[in-house]
Structure formats: C-alpha cells, structure tokens
Amino acid sequence: MNLNDQPRPWQLARRAEAMNPSAIREILKVTERPGILNFAGGLPSPETFPVAAMHAACAAILGEGSSIAKPSLQYAASEGLPELREWVATEMGKQGATVSPDQVLITTGSQQGLDLIAKVLIDAGAPVMVETPTYLGALQAFTPMEPHIESVDSDGEGVLPEALRKQLAAMPERPRFMYLLPNFQNPTGRTMPEARREAVLAVCREFGLPVVEDNPYGELWFDQAPPRPLLARWPEGVIYLGSFSKILAPGLRLGYVIAPSALYPKLLQAKQAADLHTPGFNQRLVAEVIRDGFLDQHVPTIRTRYHAQRDAMVSALTRELGPTGATWTEPKGGMFIWVRLPEGLNAQALLPAAVDAGMAFVPGAPFYARDPDMRTLRLSFVTSTPEQIDRGMAALAQVIREALSR
C-alpha cells in the first residue's frame, strides 16, 4: 500500500456512489410549508391510529405483575413473535393462500422486506422487472444491489401480459423476479383484476419468472375486497409482503415477508445481519392490539373514511380538472389517485406554481424506472378533509389553466 494514497480516508462502495438523495424526499421538504394543502405525502391518516387500544396494550405489557414485560424488552428471535407469525398465516388462509407460520418473517416495516429480498436475490447487473410506473421505495430498496431494472408496459389493470411475454422472450438472462403491487397500487391506485392476475401469472410460470407481491393497501378496499393474492395462485413462485402500517400505524415499523420454504433461511440470515430482529416490544404491542379481532372492527372505519375522501377527490377532479383535459384514475381502495395533465404540461415544472397557489402533489417521474411520463402526478386523498380537497383541486386547476394559457 502506498502512503501517498492518503489523506482522504473514506472510499465509497460503488453502490453508494450511485445513491442519490430521494427525489421524493426533496420534494416533500418543499411541500411541508405550513398552511399548504398537502396531497404529496404517502402517509395514512393519523385519525385512523387506534391510540386508546395501543395505550391499553402498552399497559397490559408493561403494567405491574405482567409476565411479558421483560421478555418483550429482551433480545428476541430473528423470525419474529410466534403469535404474530401465526396470525399472519391464519389471515392469509382466509384469503385463499395456504401459509405455514414457518414461512412468515416479521420485518421492520415492509420496506425492510424489500431490502432483504434485494440482498438475497439481486446480483449486480441482474435483470429485475417492475411495473410502469412502480413504487419508488422498491426502486430505492433494489438499487443498492445494482440490478438492471426493466420496466414492463402497463395499463390501468397492471402489467400487460403480451408485453411481458415479448420482453422476456427477448432477454438474454432470466430476471431474478418481477415486483408487483396488485392492489390499489402506489402510485397509480390501480388494481389487477382477476383475469389479469391469471394472465400475468401464466406468463411468469411459462418463463419461470418469480414474483414479489407487495400488498400494503389490500385491506383498504371500498366496495369489495380485491381478487385473491398472487401468492394463493403460485405458492412456490411468489414472495409476499404485508404491513401493519396502513391498518394500525406506520410508526411501529411492522411488516412481514412470506417466503417459499426454500428461500426462507436466506432471508432469515439477511434479516439477522440487518438488525438482529424487529423490535420485540412493537411485535408484542401489535399482537396485544389485534388478538381479540380488533381489526375486524377497526379496518372498516378506515375503509369508510378513505372511501368518502376518494369520492370527494373524484368529484372535485371531475368538476375542476375535467374541463382542462386532464385525466385520472378512480381507485377502488388505497390512498392514491394518479393524474395525467393535459398535453404539453410537465408535472415537475408545474409544482412550484402549485405550491405558490397553496397545494402540493408529487410529480410522477420518480416512479418510473425509465422513460417517465412527465405529465403524471400522484395525489393522496387520505390526509385532507373533503373541504380541503375541494380547495386543493380548485387551486391545481387554476395552475393548470394558467400553464395552458402561456
């Protein structure tokens, strides 16, 4: 080693050179100006957090005479709390998927599930397929492992089976997996219908392309539950990600991965190296909250709330943006609506004017792995009242009209 190498002591790994500040994160900072009507966030409504139930659970865990206080504060198994793993397996059974608790790995939010999957399945340069557009956080989780990300043409029902087939047939190397968010997708709000699920999986099976199915929003349906998960249709070919963030509270960072038995040990080892285990206290807290069927009462209240907010936003969009030539999705659940601005406009370029007019959205570009549609933007409808939604959409329409008239 040559002494002249010094003095700069730190040398970044190649993957870190490629890491850049999250576009969304920088955008969200701008939108946090007080008083702004903020449709940019990806946060669930804090009004849905069951504070009293959590308080009671904390008291049950930590109160005098509790036998679980110290165990819930001690180091714990990397797999997760047995009660939670069993609960997940049972719930998946209700959705038609046969899952053993041994296949369930409790994670520090489902974001960590994406990180572990990337570590275990992605080599530098290996292809990974995603929807167009796709969840930005997944792109961020995969990127450090340096995949070659391929975006599959998609419509309002998800990826197009024939486009997928053509793309796969032309690829020199089998992709490591395809990442899909079938229910009320972030960012578009779209849902894969029954026929599309079958058609896409038929192509996946044909080519031996495994699927990572991410389902943070599936419980937040408005009129009817979405079709059966992909996991139920192809148990050995699907890794499934679930989360308590949208049905209880994201600040607990509690999610889970369901993996085929062949992969589970590798994910578990990656989990152990990543943070030893998900906080045992949080796992116990959630297990206490949900154990007597609490979610059967609680989740319908979230559905009702978000349903009314979606209705308000669709009405406001129809009234305000309809005349401008913009188009939008009408999601059947979840938290987001995806807007496409009239021809000639650019959502990113429009944002400063929108913020000046008192409202904020997220431009759609960062959600594209490549070739972004610059006319798109994402609106969250769950943290604003109908009245705020009305004012916000009116402000957005005004900004669009001004941009069109220039």
| Residues numbered 44-103 forming contacts with a copy of itself, rule: CB under 8 A | 44, 46, 49, 51-52, 54-55, 58-59, 62-63, 66, 69-76, 78
Of the candidates 80, 280, 331, 372, which one interacts with a copy of itself according to CB under 8 A? 280
- For the segment 112-171, give every residue that binds a copy of itself (CB under 8 A): 112, 115, 119-123, 126, 137, 140-141, 143-145, 168-171
Backbone angles phi, psi at 249, to 5 degrees: -170, 135
Indicate the residue among 27 and 314 with the shorter CB distance to a copy of itself. Answer: 27
> H helices of 227-293, where?
230-233, 264-275, 280-290
Contacts of 70-78 with CB under 8 Å at 24 or more apart are: 71/280, 71/284, 72/280, 72/281, 72/283, 72/284, 72/285, 73/280, 73/281, 74/280, 75/276, 75/277, 75/280, 76/277, 76/280, 76/283, 77/277, 78/105, 78/268, 78/271, 78/272, 78/276, 78/277
Residue 364 CB, nearest approach to a copy of itself (Å): 20
Are 260 and 239 contacting, i.e. CB atoms less than 8 angstroms apart?
Answer: yes
* 118 versus 312: smaller Cβ distance to a copy of itself: 118
Within 198-227, the residues that bind a copy of itself by CB under 8 A are 206-210
Q: In 3-state terms, what secondary structure has residue 387? A: helix
Part in contact with a copy of itself (CB under 8 A); list of ranges 43-51, 151-159, 288-296, 302-310: 43-51
Q: How big is the site for a copy of itself, counted in residues (CB under 8 A)? A: 100
Q: Which of 278, 309, 376, 384 binds a copy of itself (CB under 8 A)?
A: 278
Chosen residue from 34, 94, 125, 173 binding a copy of itself by CB under 8 A: 173
> Cβ 185 to a copy of itself, closest distance in Å?
18
- Residue 327 has which token pair? 């188009």
Residue-by-residue DSSP string for 323-354: GGT-EE---SBSSEEEEEPPTT--HHHHHHHH
User: Is residue 19 involved in binding a copy of itself (CB under 8 A)?
Assistant: yes
Token pair 């759609």 in the structure block, residue: 364
List the interface residues with a copy of itself, window 247-276 (CB under 8 A): 249-253, 260, 262-263, 265-266, 269-270, 272-276
